[in-house]
Amino acid sequence: MNNNRGRGLQANALGTFDTVVMAVAGSAPAYSIATTTAVLVSAVGLASPAALLYCAIPMLGIALAFSYLSRIDVTAGASYSWVGRTLHPFLGFISGWALVISATIFMVAGSLPAGSMTLALFDSELADDTALSTLVGAGWFLLMLCVVLGGARLTVRAQLVMSGVELAILALFAVLALLHSDKARAFDWSWLGLGHFDGVTGFASGALIAAFYYWGWDVTSNLSEETRDSRRTTGLAGLIGVGVVFLLFEVFTIAVNVILSSRQIQDNDANVLAVLGEEVWPGWGGKLLIVAVMLSTIATLETTLIQVTRSLFAMGRDRTMPSALGRVHRRWNTPWVAISVVGVVALAMFVASNFLGTVGEILSDAISAMGLQIALYYGLTGLAAVFAYRKLLLKSVGNLVFGGLWPLFGALFMFWIFVESLGELSRSAIAIGIGGLAAGLIPMLWYWRQGSDYYRPAKLDAARTVEADYVPAGGGGDNSLVHEGLPTDF
């Protein structure tokens, strides 16, 4: 499979710190807490902190899988390429397609709150107007589309400003929430246990929603062709990103349980954070957290655009989708055709979303549908890492645990919540989630019949990469070997 057709993306545009910021922004901590907490609470109640905790453990396994795979194959396609070269090209395409579909759905699920939060800064009643929220959200989306089109350096500069302000506000309110004395209920350690879940199915439903919370840190892998020392940087940044957002999610979810009543959460399902802000800092608190959510939403629109457009770029380059998607702008070194196509499709979805219901209703079904798609491609990537490193797993305990058992556990967990949650989701959520995945069979079979090289891949094998990367230490009869960046050294 030839990954070097035509002009490439802008190499070495991002450093380590830039990539870590992108990983955190990809998971959109303020947005996820504000718009998803009500959905999570309705599914598992006071067990919300436990759902986030128990999903974080397998999620770290998936992050390890991405880290290990990025060390042996640098590609903007990420899981699309890795799964295709290890498990099977059909599974690889479905993995990439799941990301594309979930990211495209998020264009609506993310843009609506961006518009709603912007309007809420001026008039809280306007925030409930779906049509107006869609219009303002579409404006933010188009702005981010232009930023992403302008190149990786412009993208990361905008991200540093937005995420910097967002995280500063969240840190302030984390402290204020801890010091707040007016409580709806006392903290209980049982919230971190399994007792509050409604059986196995209830646990799976909570874990599926929690997977959506974390989703997005893997944007670092889609940026690997534009990152310095990407074999190390992208995986490390993803792991740091998961750790940072886990802490933020736990602090604020526990704060919501302690400070807000069930009625407050249900009545403000589109932005729980604003209500929390008013409780801990009346007057200014709600407004500041609305700003944080707005910036978080706009920031994650940017990272999601990167994920979907880089994935489509890789597909176009491999000719598993129209080859025009693999074209790169001469000046900005960005996949401008893929960006334009995503923009047109997303704007059409904005219009359609006005006929689906309120902002809260749209978010609930969209989050569940995306959770299914995310669980699928994360699970396949976890299996791909185990398969790629299978010959090296017994070389050391570290390889076995971090490159084998933990990614395998993460993969099996993702597949389990995918299957288990199907019985609990609404028909519309299942139709969006499964129907979106099924739609990918059409281009997959079409381009397979056209003879794309992607469907005749060079197998990805970490053992071969290790052998190829060993070089003589130099000089005389010294037969020692040195290796920089050995994939098995986590």
- SS3 of 359-397: the string is HHHHHHHHHHHHHHHHHHHHHHHHHHHHHHCCCCHHHCH
Query: What does the pLDDT read at residue 369?
Result: 81
User: For residue 410, is it within any domain?
Assistant: yes
In a domain, 344, yes or no: yes
**What is the tens place of the pLDDT at every residue in 265-287?**
877 766 788 888 888 898 888 88
* Residue 306 included in any domain: yes
| pTM of full prediction above 0.75 | yes
> How crowded is residue 144: how many other Cβ atoms within 10 Å of its Cβ?
27
- Cα separation, 102 vs 382, in Å, equals 18
Q: What is the per-residue pLDDT for 466?
A: 64
Per the listing, tokens 């409604």 go with 198
Residue 426 belongs to some domain of the structure: yes
Look over the chain and give the mean of its residue pLDDT values, rounded to a whole number: 86
CB 465 within 8 A of CB 485: no
Residue 8 in domain: no
Separation CA 297–CA 235 (nearest Å): 24
User: What CA–CA distance (Å, rounded) separates 56 from 40?
Assistant: 15
CATH code for the domain of 163? 1.20.1740.10
Domain assignment present for 7: no
Residue 156 above 50 pLDDT? yes
Number of domains the chain contains = 1
180-194, 293-307, 353-367, 418-432: which has the highest mean pLDDT? Answer: 293-307
**pLDDT > 70? residue 481:** no
pLDDT band for position 477 (cuts 50, 70, 90):
very low
Long-range CB pairs of 398-404 (<8 Å, 24+ gap) are 398/488, 398/489, 398/490, 399/488, 399/490, 402/64, 402/68, 402/490, 403/64, 403/68, 403/488, 403/490
Phi/psi for 77 (5° steps) reads -75, -20
Structure tokens at 56: 């974080």
Range of the structural domain that residue 429 is part of: 16-482
Q: What is the pLDDT of residues 27-81, one digit of tens each?
A: 989 988 887 888 888 888 889 999 999 999 999 999 999 999 999 999 999 999 9
Dump pLDDT digits (tens) for 200-220.
888 888 888 888 889 899 999
Instruction: Note whether residue 9 is domain-resident.
Output: no
pLDDT score of 227 more than 60: yes
- Record the tokens describing residue 108, joined without a space: 């609506």
Measured CA to CA, the distance from residue 427 to residue 313 in angstroms comes to: 32
Q: Are 124 and 132 in contact (CB under 8 A)?
A: no
On whether residue 6 sits in a domain, the answer given is no
